[in-house]
Amino acid sequence: MNEKENNCLENLDEYPETAIPFLGPCRIPSPIHRMKREHFRECFVTDYDRVLLDVSLIRVETLIKKGEPLAAFEMAGPRGQIYFDPSKLKCALVTCGGLCPGLNDVIRSIVLELYHGYGVHNIFGIRYGLRGFISCYGHDLIHLNPEAVRRILGTGGSILGSSRGPQPIDEIVDCLERLNIGILFMIGGDGTLLAAAKIADTIAARGLKIAVVGIPKTIDNDIFLVSRSFGFDTAVDVATQAIRGAHKESEGYPNGIGLIKLMGRYSGFIAATATLAQQEVNFALIPEVDFDLEGRNGLLQSLEARLNLRGHAVIVVAEGAGQKFFKDTQKDRDASGNIKLKDIGLFLKEKISEHFVSRGIDISLKYIDPSYMIRSLPPNTNDRIFCSALARNAVHAGISGKTRMMVGYWNDRFVNIPMKASAGRRKQVNPRGGLWQNVLDVTGQGSLKNR
């Protein structure tokens, strides 16, 4: 899958600034030098090691001919010289927003890399998201060490807990200053990264030497300029099980219909990828591609034609699809300021039932919504491996004094990405791209729009 295509980078003018802010020069030899791991020295990278944003051979050739610089991310990884003195460093970890498979694996790997890799022994967990920084909530800190995280590998949820909604930035920075924190690791999605950027700005305005490092977390895989996020692989795994069950249910009854609602507020990556992974879906509905209910090409007529042809059907719908069918969708917001989506799954269940009743056709409709079960599940093997590498690279960045950045994955490499390049923007499925074209080939659904 082409990452540039998925991120909808249509031309070079859209490429962001990729320079990573830093607190100061790195003058301390990495403790890794002193550990009896001579082979590890070969793994050191420098700030000059880069990963191209666009690996298109034609585009790169054009740039070289024009003498223009290549847009590239700084490669993640350990540096030979570091900024912070590990013996005096204090670090804090916080998880924000919704739960996601792999949170505990990220926490564990950060702690172990800080403790064993760099000799940092003052590590604090902040309870219940950004609320944990605010004194009026009264949440205690958790002292994190290898013993504290020993049993959490591959477990669901977050041992630190989480919360949604904004908190006063100045009070958060006050808390960091009181605790004498040197590196703050923030694990969360787009809202968390926006908050992290504001925290880093306030820190800079006060002249403090505190690094802020983000670890992008979104089960929807919708963070801009990040080709893969942890939890997504697990979500697709579970979604395919739901599709498999819905298919068997639909086959087992005359005019059987399996309807599965999956996560994906604004991006349909889970629904699209699960459809390709379990190719028994006949209709995939995502936020990026409009569809109609009524009319010759609408979903209801197309579904009826499918039942007449094969006697059963499976529909997958992302939670953010079809919001045009609801009125006043902009009014209600959650604690984080996100628009509260209307339930497209229950809406479709009702409309499908009404349509076939009006046509005098008996159907057997089974509705499945595994969303919240997926969020709190343990990560699968692929996600566990990915979480470990992501977390350790976040530690390498923070200990080197890099700030206002997050660790991401791009062109099969872990990279350091400036928060400002990604925050406030969203990755979506390209309706003209290869992923969606493959979905159309697999389902055979065609356009569900009346022209």
Cα 67 from chain centroid (whole Å)? 35
How many C-alpha atoms does 93 have within 13 Å on its Cβ side?
30
- Are 326 and 342 in contact by the 8 Å Cβ rule? The answer is yes
Helix (H) or strand (E) holding 52: strand 50-52
Question: What's the token pair of residue 221?
Answer: 């895989």
Longest dimension (CA), the chain: 78
The dihedral built from the CA positions of residue 418, 130, 173 and 122, taken in this order, carries a sign that is: negative
Residue type for 156, please? G
Residue among 371, 353, 370, 372 at smallest CA distance from 362? 353
Question: What's the token pair of residue 436?
Answer: 């969606």
Question: What's the token pair of residue 3?
Answer: 């990452």
Question: What's the token pair of residue 112?
Answer: 């172990």
* Active-site residue (options: 220, 222, 233, 292): 220
Residue among 101, 178, 94 at smallest CA distance from 144? 94
Helix (H) or strand (E) holding 434: helix 434-443
Q: CA dist 246 to 136, 240, 314, 316, 369, Å? A: 47, 10, 7, 10, 11
The tokens 């599965």 sit on which residue?
260
Close Cβ partners of 188 (under 8 Å, ≥ 6 residues apart): 95, 96, 97, 195, 196, 214, 215, 216, 217
- Note if 220 is an active site residue: yes
Question: What's the token pair of residue 186?
Answer: 């923030």
Residues that are catalytic: 220
